[in-house]
Amino acid sequence: MADIFHQYENLVVWAVYALAGLGCCIVWWKITASLSNRGWRDLARGLVLVLIYTPWYAGESREFFAPAIMVLVMDLLLEGAKGGLQGGLILLCSLFVMLLGLTLRLIFGRRPRQALPD
């Protein structure tokens, strides 16, 4: 039984992390539901999604992934400011993609108002 767990250890860890992240996202959705401005609400929700779910390589080997925010924090703590570039750069790219998606949604998501029938 221990052999099977060792084989799928990384997958089990990511499954638990994904479920915990889903719980955090549900709570965050409920908290941000009170924001009246849709743009700020979507931005706050997108920021949390990017911070929780962006993966990046853990360590020197390109075999295992970890959350990019954790890679950034650990690199900053262990290697200093120069070491935080790996996780930070991928987070910035993910944030850019999220902002681009929100901008495109704002531009193309508007439907022309229809006149109400009399």
The answer to whether the predicted template modeling score (pTM) of the entire model surpasses 0.75 is yes
Domain count, the chain: 1
**Using CA atoms, how far apart are residues 32 and 75, in angstroms rounded to an integer?**
31
Give a yes or no: residue 102 inside a domain: yes
Give a yes or no: residue 58 inside a domain: yes
Query: How high is the pLDDT of residue 113?
Result: 64
Q: What's the Cα-to-Cα distance from 88 to each of 15, 50, 80, 85, rounded to whole Å?
A: 24, 12, 13, 5
Tell me the residue length of the chain.
118
Is the confidence at residue 118, as pLDDT, over 70? no
| Contact indicator for 80, 92 with CB cutoff of 8 Å | no
> Which two three-digit tokens encode residue 97?
């993609």
SS3 26: helix
Summarised one tens digit per residue, pLDDT across range 26-72 is 999 999 999 999 889 999 999 999 999 998 888 777 777 888 888 88
Q: Is the dihedral of CA 20, 26, 31, 109 positive or negative?
A: positive
Summarised one tens digit per residue, pLDDT across range 72-85 is 888 888 887 776 67
Residue 100 belongs to domain spanning: 2-107
Give a yes or no: residue 11 inside a domain: yes
Give a yes or no: residue 114 inside a domain: no
